[in-house]
Every structure is written in C-alpha cells, then in structure tokens.
Amino acid sequence: MSFRWFALLLSGAVASTLAASAQAASTRAAVLAPFIQPEIALPSPARPPLTDSVRLAQAGSSTLSDAQQEALDDLLTEGQDKVEARDYAGAIALYQEAIRIDPSNARLFSGIGYLYVQQGQYADAIAPYEQAITLEPDNLPFRYGLAFAYVRSADYDSAIAAYEAITDLSPAATDAYLGLGNIYITLEDYDAALSTYETLAQRAPGNAKAYEALGTLYLIREDYTNAESAFQRAVQVDDSRSAAYVGLAETQLAQGDVDGAFNNLRRAVELDREAAQAQFLLGEISMERGDVEAAYTYYRRAVDADPTLIPAQAAVGALHLEQGVYLQAIAAYRRVLDAFPGNPGAHYNLGLALWAEGLEQQAIVQVTSARRLYLAQEDLASVDRVDALLELWNVDTEAEGI
C-alpha cells in the first residue's frame, strides 16, 4: 500500500479563493517528498528510573555524625525541591555538596547522573553513573542509566559493554537485550541483533517484547513471513499489548493484506487509543478506501497522541488545506518543517495556507523558499509551478530578489 498523506490536493474551494479556475493548477498543494514516511519503530533504550536516583533523603551513611546527617538531610531536601521545580542544575550543585559530606553514597552519584540525563548532557552523566556502579556494582538501575548515557552519546561500544554487564548479572533482563539489539540495528549488524533477540526469546519465552523485537527486525530485513510469525507469537504470549498488533498489521500491509491489517490496527487502538502509529495507518487505509471523514478522524487522533509523528501532521495539514481550515493547516505544516526544514512541498503548502489567511508576506517567504529548494533539486516543473503562483499573486519577483 502506498502512503497517501503526501499527495492530497487542494479542493475547489481553496482554488477559488486563491485563483481563477483556469489557473488553479498552480495552487494545488505540493506533493511532499516521501522521505518523511514513518520509520519502523525500534525498541527504545530504557531511560534511567527516577526512583532512588533523586529521592535520597533517607540514604545517608551510618558512619555520619548527627551533625553531618542533619546537614546532609537539609541538602537532600533542598535538592529534591529543586528537582520538582525542574531546576536540575541547582539540584546537581546541592548533590555535589552532599557528596563532600557522604562520598560513599552511591545514590548521590546516580542522582547526579540522572539529572544530567534530564538536561540532555549525556556525556556528563557517564562519570557519576560509573562512580555509583563502583560503589554498588550489583545495582541494575545504575547500570541502565550508564548504558542509556552511552547510547545517547553515540558511544556504542561502551553501551554494548554496559548492557552485556547487565545481562551477566541478570540473564533474563529484557530491557538490556532490547537495548543491545537496538544498537546492533543502528550499526546495521542485523545478524548480531537477531542473535540477541533470539537469546532473549530463549531466556524469557513468556515475554511478548522479545517476539515484537524479532518481528521488527524481520520487518527491517523485509522477511515478512518470519516477521508475521514473530508478531503472531507475541500476540499469543500476551494479547493485551497494542504494539504486537501494530507490528502484525505493518507486516500484513507489506504483503498486501489490507483488510487483515485494518482489523489488527482496530484491535491495537481498542487496547491503546494513544497508539499513534496505529491511528495513522488506519487513516492511510481509510484514505485508500475513499473514506476521507474516517481518515481525518484517525489522523487527528494520531497527532493528538503524538504531535511529533510528522507523516500524520502532514496528512492533517493537507486535509485542513483542502477543507479550508487554514490556521490548523498552518500549525500542521509548521510542525512538519520543524522536523524537515528542507522539504519544499511543505514550504509551498504552508505558503498557500498563509496566503489564504491574508498573511501575504509570510506566504511569499515560504513559497520562495520552496522555489529555492526545488531549484536545488533540479525539479524544474515545480519551479515553474511556483513561478506561476507568484505571478498569480502579482508578486514583483525582482523586488523579492527571485
């Protein structure tokens, strides 16, 4: 099934607003480049947990004097207040001061690592997590935090070592195997990923995530027969997980079984209304079937569940543009451009919506940006379409530097 969200055209109402019917071809919504189709979702590395990392008031050492314990408690209480206020830098400073009182407190170090992660300072999180592990080597949450920081820092060799250390301590640690497999997929070492997921399935045969991971890997390798078997196994193990039905539906779509995919996607959203990918794919199928009203409903649910799902935003933007709901079209296309600023079709369509709202100068900026990008791609037919639109708008191209 081909994705339709990037190919919707303006309705007659929009065309009449923007131009006479004889010139309406230049006002059709642009086709958005297909590189922003949704990717197959990989298992995400487990984020370090909040528990024990920053709630530290009870974590003092038995070797502290009463005065030291009181000072430590005050620092930790103040630090927790700053965490709750999202003043992470302030909390880190207080925990560093607490370490000078209680340097053997592993949770102080892990708390600092966690707070660096919260700020996106992944490289800075590594040393505190390593110190926490030195003090408490059997603490798995500390090791997950370290692995997560390595992954986010793109230090994959160190991340692999960190996850393998977790599996040595806990041979059925599902998230560690999923993290390892994700890294191997990122490195395009699919054989290593397959071996990792197979090991997980052997050690945790009752865990649906293992079979979902296998199914995802087979999907990436376009081995649809094994992908379908893996997702079916996931459903058999746990029929309450929406993700398994989504994976099964994606496999069926790849094999042309649209009806089967639709049924599984419906089941997925029954289990989890916030399953954005499922809602989006239901919208795609509905659009293929000509049910625009249902498609719009599914697309809207998708963006409500996950505003960062760019294909769904593009689909909503196209439908809003077609229906003359220009302000919402503007909002949708701005989200698309936040993610893909080099997409000329999104600039062009945003320009159409802005012009329809009377924001003419902003519209010209967007359309001329589209022209520049089309020219760079040597898409001369689209360049001609932009030029025709600018002429229709009576834009002085020389004055605009075009």
Buried b (16+ CB within 10 A) or exposed e, 94-106: bbeebbebbeebb
Q: How confident is the model over 51-92, as pLDDT tens digits?
A: 444 554 445 556 778 788 888 888 888 888 888 888 999 999
| Model pTM above 0.85 | no
What would the pLDDT profile of 274-295 be if each residue is shown by its tens digit?
Answer: 999 999 999 999 999 999 999 9
pLDDT tens profile 93-124: 999 999 999 999 999 999 999 999 999 999 99
| Burial label, 191 (beta-carbon count in 10 A; 0-12, 13-18, 19+) | exposed
Q: Band of the pLDDT at 29, cuts 50, 70, 90?
A: low
In whole angstroms, give the CA distance from residue 129 to residue 126. Answer: 5
3-state helix, strand, coil in the chain (%, to 5): 70, 0, 30
Q: Is 254 within 8 Å of 285 (Cβ atoms)?
A: no
Q: What is residue 32's DSSP assignment?
A: P
| Domain formed by 1-38+310-402, architecture | Alpha Horseshoe (1.25)
In 3-state terms, what secondary structure has residue 5?
coil
Percent of the chain with pLDDT over 70: 83
Cβ proximity of 73 and 57 under 8 Å: yes
Report residue 73 as tokens. 């408690």
161-162-164-168 Cα dihedral, nearest 10 degrees: 130
Q: Given the structure tokens 């607003």, which residue do they identify? A: 17
∠ CA 156-115-172, nearest 5°, is 50
Q: In this model, does residue 7 exceed pLDDT 80? A: no
Q: How far apart are CA 382 and CA 402, in angstroms?
A: 15
Question: In this structure, what DSSP letter does residue 86 have?
Answer: T
User: Domain segments of the chain: what residues?
Assistant: 1-38+310-402
Residue 174: predicted pLDDT: 92
- The predicted pLDDT at position 47 comes to 60
pLDDT: is 300 or 17 the higher one?
300
| Interval 255-263 mean pLDDT | 95
Decide if 208 contacts 174 (C-beta within 8 A).
no
Place 45 in a pLDDT band, splitting at 50, 70 and 90: low
**Average pLDDT for residues 366-395, to the nearest whole number?**
91
For residue 60, what pLDDT is reported? 52
Cα–Cα dist 173/285, whole Å: 37
- Vertex 345 angle, CA 341 and 348, to 5°: 95
Distance CA 287, CA 35 (A): 20
